[in-house]
């Protein structure tokens, strides 16, 4: 998928990032300053009206093929729930320089952060990989910490891709339709590390949302920022059902394989989980 011209204005994207942060906060997935959002925009953009301050930034991953392209990124330590109150103060725009080793970071005079998110390396690596694979001109990535999904990732038997998806996607018909590849799983790795970055890139090639064990999730969309946050919300709702069922001595059956097959037939969903 790609976004077609006329491309969204920067102000529209600022509002959408604010709305996604607000919704993720409503589902308790952004305690304190947890979580971060970034958006890749593959069209020419001049951010200086909203972000007149400029500085040169060394990129965590060289991106020579994305010279001239832009990223909208949350600041380190900012609260996702507060972005909506003043998006420009909580976000920066990075335009990649020729050669791809550095970028220009554009910020607002009201800027409330010293650096961009500490997960910027994983965000950039995922954007770069998806742009290379699909040629998309738009890509949104969100990290959040939804509590039920994260809790389940502490239990050994959910630390298995097939088990995790089979048990979570059985609770609502929408789940297999929205997450036909299932939910990805990345074992615990140090936040911000190169190991987490490369494992996340691999997992997001197959899945649209992946669990970072004992930490949270990362989701992506090549259609909209809110589509990425919807994916987190669907996966977290599934995990909340699963958690309730564990508390209730696993009395519920969930949708059967047969019922899920009939949903997939009706909505033309291709999947290999059930």
The residues binding Zn ion (CB under 5 A) are 216
| Cα Rg of the chain, angstroms | 19
The least CB distance from residue 188 to Zn ion, in Å, is 12
Residue among 163 and 188 whose Cβ is closer to Zn ion: 188
The least CB distance from residue 5 to Zn ion, in Å, is 35
The least CB distance from residue 156 to Zn ion, in Å, is 22
The least CB distance from residue 17 to Zn ion, in Å, is 17
**Burial letters 222-238, b for 16+ CB under 10 A, else e:** bebbbbbbbbbbbbbbb
3-class secondary-structure state, position 248: coil
Residue among 91 and 217 whose Cβ is closer to Zn ion: 217
CA–CA gap between residue 124 and residue 130 (Å, rounded): 10
DSSP letter string, 4-17: PSSPPPHHHHHHHH
Residue among 100 and 216 whose Cβ is closer to Zn ion: 216
Residue among 34 and 223 whose Cβ is closer to Zn ion: 34
Q: State which residue has the least CB distance to Zn ion.
A: 216
Asked if residue 169 lies in contact with residue 181, where contact means CB atoms within 8 angstroms, the answer is: no
Residue among 18 and 216 whose Cβ is closer to Zn ion: 216
Token pair recorded at residue 4: 């077609």
Residue among 184 and 216 whose Cβ is closer to Zn ion: 216
The least CB distance from residue 118 to Zn ion, in Å, is 9
The least CB distance from residue 119 to Zn ion, in Å, is 7
**Burial letters 19-40, b for 16+ CB under 10 A, else e:** bbbbbbbebebbeebbbbbbbb
3-class secondary-structure state, position 72: strand
CA–CA gap between residue 120 and residue 184 (Å, rounded): 20
């Amino acid at each position: 998928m790609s976004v077609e011209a006329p491309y969204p204005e920067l102000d529209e994207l600022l509002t959408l990032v604010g709305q996604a942060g607000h919704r993720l906060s409503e589902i308790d997935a952004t305690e304190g300053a947890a979580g971060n959002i970034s958006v890749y925009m593959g069209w020419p953009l001049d951010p200086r009206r909203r972000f007149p301050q400029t500085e040169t930034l060394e990129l965590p991953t060289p991106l020579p093929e994305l010279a001239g392209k832009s990223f909208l990124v949350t600041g380190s330590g900012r609260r996702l729930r507060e972005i909506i109150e003043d998006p420009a103060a909580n976000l920066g725009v990075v335009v990649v320089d020729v050669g791809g080793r550095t970028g220009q970071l554009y910020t607002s005079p009201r800027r409330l952060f010293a650096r961009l998110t500490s997960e910027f390396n994983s965000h950039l690596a995922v954007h770069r990989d998806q742009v290379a694979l699909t040629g998309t001109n738009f890509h949104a990535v969100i990290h959040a910490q939804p509590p039920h999904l994260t809790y389940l990732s502490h239990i050994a038997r959910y630390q298995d891709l097939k088990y995790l998806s089979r048990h979570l996607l059985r609770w609502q018909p929408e789940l297999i339709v929205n997450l036909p590849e299932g939910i990805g799983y990345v074992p615990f790795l140090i936040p911000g590390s190169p190991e987490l970055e490369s494992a996340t890139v691999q997992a997001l090639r197959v899945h649209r949302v992946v669990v970072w064990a004992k930490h949270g999730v990362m989701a992506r969309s090549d259609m909209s920022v809110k589509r990425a946050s919807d994916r987190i919300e669907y996966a977290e709702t599934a995990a909340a059902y699963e958690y309730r069922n564990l508390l209730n001595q696993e009395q519920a059956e969930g949708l059967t394989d047969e019922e899920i097959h009939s949903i997939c037939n009706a909505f033309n969903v291709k999947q290999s989980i059930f």
